Structure 1
Amino acid sequence: MGQAREVLDKLTETAIERHDIDAAVDLYTDDAVVMTPDAGPVRGREKIAEYWHQFIDAFPDSHYETIAKLETDGRAVDEGYFIGTNTGTMTTPSGERIEATGKQVKLRSCDIATVENGKITEHHLYFDESEFMRQMGLNA
């Protein structure tokens, strides 16, 4: 197993399984960027922590179900499902607050992390926003 695979596995473990955002953010470089479908590029550890908190705080029972893992040339790729029950308030990237719906989501996602010297420099996160909102019961 290479360094990229180890770091992305540790990110999944710390952020989604253990809900330890501080430990998860330590896996990123100071100037890392996370490319997201809902907030666009999120730059720097402080903003990345805020982004992670919006999900983990809203889904405190979250976990990740892996479908596939790949690694090549300093990049690790995960495909799987983010699963959790929305029991906490969520703040969207636009600042809108969404009160807990009590709905469980099973959201298919893909992560691609570029790792250099044991830290994530770039992280691309893909998920279907409309499917997420539908599962939350927030759109028709």
Structure 2
Amino acid sequence: MSTGWDVKHRLCQAINVHDLHGVLECYSPDAVLVCPAGVAEGREQIAWIYEQLFKGFPDYRQTPWLEVDCDDPAVSEWTITGTHTGPFLLPDGRELEPTGRHVTLRASCLSYVEGGRIVTHREYFDQLELYSQLGFGLVELGED
């Protein structure tokens, strides 16, 4: 039986080559993915999250640089890189047209694995860092 780290390594490899089938094989059928984009429950919703990511950043890649020496949950940190050359769905439902901007983000995740598949996967990164790199600025809100 594969360890949690075997599963996470397979997931990272599948993500880096944008193999959606391979990504979904790492998740249990009723898995939950919690990420800045929201909560996805089950493979169909998880697939949608990854499809949006791969569409907006066709060269999206994760490079792990720290794996915490524990089994459950398996915790890692990585660097995310990609170029925004496709449409990207924003949290308010608008679609951001390609900016051509390259992004580099620090991120972390933890995964609970049972029976050789991920049952819960939580990803964290700084959304402000992402949106700043995509060209968004902070707006000071005036008093009403």
Fold match by TM threshold 0.5 = yes
Q: Hey, what's the Cα distance between the residues in 2 that align with 1:100 and 1:61?
A: 13
On the 8 A contact 2:62/2:81 being kept in 1, the answer is: yes
TM-score w.r.t. structure 1 length? 0.91
DSSP 3-state at the match of 2:57: coil
Q: Hey, what's the Cα distance between the residues in 2 that align with 1:94 and 1:53?
A: 18
Residue 134 of structure 2 aligns with which residue? Answer: 136
Question: Per the alignment, do residues 45 and 96 of structure 1 end up closer, same or farther by CA in structure 2, a change over 3 Å counting?
Answer: same
Task: Indicate yes or no: 2:57 matched with 1:59.
Answer: yes
On the 8 A contact 1:4/1:71 being kept in 2, the answer is: no
Farther off after superposition, 45-54 or 85-94 = 85-94
What letter corresponds to residue 4 of structure 1 in structure 2? G
DSSP 3-state at the match of 1:57: helix
Q: Hey, what's the Cα distance between the residues in 1 that align with 2:78 and 2:4?
A: 17
Report the alpha carbon displacement of residue 53 of structure 1 after superposing the two structures with TM: 1.3
Report the alpha carbon displacement of residue 71 of structure 1 after superposing the two structures with TM: 4.1
Identity score, percent: 33
Q: Deviations over 1:85-139 (max 9, x none)?
A: 1111112354321111100000110011110011000001001111110011123
On the 8 A contact 1:3/1:74 being kept in 2, the answer is: no
1:66-85 to structure 2, matched below 5 A, reads 66-85=64-83
Q: Structure 1, unaligned stretches of length 5 or more?
A: none
Q: Hey, what's the Cα distance between the residues in 2 that align with 1:84 and 1:125?
A: 17
1:1-140 to structure 2, matched below 5 A, reads 3-15=3-15, 17-39=16-38, 41-140=39-138
On the 8 A contact 1:5/1:75 being kept in 2, the answer is: no
Q: Hey, what's the Cα distance between the residues in 2 that align with 1:71 and 1:43?
A: 27
Q: Hey, what's the Cα distance between the residues in 2 that align with 1:120 and 1:3?
A: 10
DSSP 3-state at the match of 1:72: coil
How many residue pairs were aligned? 137
DSSP 3-state at the match of 1:14: helix
On the 8 A contact 1:5/1:71 being kept in 2, the answer is: no
Q: Hey, what's the Cα distance between the residues in 1 that align with 2:107 and 2:99?
A: 21
DSSP 3-state at the match of 1:95: coil
TM-score w.r.t. structure 2 length? 0.88
Q: Structure 2, unaligned stretches of length 5 or more?
A: 139-144
Report which of the two structures shows the higher radius of gyration computed on alpha carbons: 2
